[in-house]
Amino acid sequence: MARKKIIAGNWKMNKTPSEAVALVNELKDLVKNDEVDVVYCVPAIDIVPVVEATKGTNVEVGAENMYFEESGAYTGEISAAMLVDAGVKYVIIGHSERRDYFKECDCLLNKKVKKAFEAGLTPILCCGESLEQREMGVTMDWIRLQIKSDLAGITADQVKSMVIAYEPIWAIGTGKTATSDQAQEVCKGIRDCVAEMYDEATAEAVRIQYGGSMNAGNAAELLAKPDIDGGLVGGASLKADFGKIVNYK
């Protein structure tokens, strides 16, 4: 069965609650497309108003992060149960900005992935290499390590339902997109890794996005590749361009 494309915006630390609602309303008609899944991953404080503003539309809401503990004394953190209760369906886990600036390691991310599934959220697990790693020729070794650690103990059925985002760090926010061939090669490598860890059926089902300077101009070429099942879009998700990415065909 063909995998349905999933185009997700990652708003990062942008948009106040009132700006968020204004953006949702601005994009409402532009992002209509029932052939793809459309997701807005928004800052925690924007979740409640964005869930409200997207009611009755084709857009689902995601979080950009969460903590793995159930509840308790974890000042500043947000639990999976809070996200679910607020109407969130997806959660980004292990974005390179969190791995880098907030020192999130694979053992923590594995706990977050487990908790997300336990709560009924769909994880969007990010992986990707630095420029130095690419130049050293260890891109796939590094990504395989990330995936194997972050998915430890996760079942085949869970993996079938999740999303993996390949985001080369050197392409994030730099305007320097991976070529569609480079992106395809790694997305295929990720699928092969899933096949090895689980089986062919799981590898065929899991959706793999590309992220890194995706925009209205390059989306169609990237999304035409056989192993690229969608995009995780940063900068271009904050403007009308996002509608063009969703309607890339």
Ligand X SMILES: O=C(CO)COP(=O)(O)O
Query: Which residue, 164 or 214, is less far from ligand X as judged by CB?
Result: 214
Residue pair 159/198 in contact by the 8 Å Cβ criterion: yes
User: Is 95 assigned a catalytic role?
Assistant: yes
Query: Which residue, 150 or 167, is less far from ligand X as judged by CB?
Result: 167
Query: Which residue, 95 or 207, is less far from ligand X as judged by CB?
Result: 95
Query: Which residue, 11 or 68, is less far from ligand X as judged by CB?
Result: 11
Interactions with ligand X, residue window 74-103 (CB under 6 A):
95
Interface with ligand X, residue 235, by CB under 6 A: yes
User: Is 167 assigned a catalytic role?
Assistant: yes
Taking the complex as a whole, the smallest distance from the CB of residue 65 to ligand X amounts, in Å, to 12
Interface with ligand X, residue 212, by CB under 6 A: yes
Give the interface segment with ligand X, choosing from 24-32, 55-63, 197-205, 226-234 (CB under 6 A): 226-234
Interface with ligand X, residue 211, by CB under 6 A: yes
Interior angle at CA 226, CA 223 and CA 230, nearest 5: 35
9 is in an annotated binding site: no
Tokens of 124: 């969007």
| 3-class secondary structure, 194 | helix
Q: Which residues contact 110 (CB under 8 A, 6 or more apart)?
A: 149, 150, 151, 152, 153
* Residue from the set 10, 65, 79, 139 that interacts with ligand X by CB under 6 A: 10
Q: Give the burial class of 23: count Cβ atoms within 10 A of its Cβ; 0-12 exposed, 13-18 middle, 19 or more buried.
A: buried
Interface with ligand X, residue 233, by CB under 6 A: yes
Q: How many residues bind ligand X (CB under 6 A)?
A: 14
For tokens 């056989």, the residue is 226
* Residue from the set 167, 227, 229, 241 that interacts with ligand X by CB under 6 A: 167
Q: How far apart are CA 210 and CA 224, in angstroms?
A: 12
Residue pair 135/115 in contact by the 8 Å Cβ criterion: no
Q: How far apart are CA 50 and CA 22, in angstroms?
A: 10
Pattern 135-154, ligand X, x by CB under 6 A: --------------------
Overall residue count recorded for the chain in this entry: 249
142 to 75, 123, 165, 166: CA distances (angstroms): 32, 20, 14, 12
Q: What is the DSSP string of 56-99?
A: TSSEEEEES--BSSSSSS-TT--BHHHHHHHT--EEEE--HHHH
**In this chain, which residue has its C-beta nearest to ligand X?**
234
235 is in an annotated binding site: yes
Taking the complex as a whole, the smallest distance from the CB of residue 12 to ligand X amounts, in Å, to 7
Annotated binding site for substrate: 10-12, 173, 213, 234-235
Catalytic residue numbers?
95, 167
Residues that bind ligand X (CB under 6 A): 10, 95, 167, 172-173, 211-214, 232-236
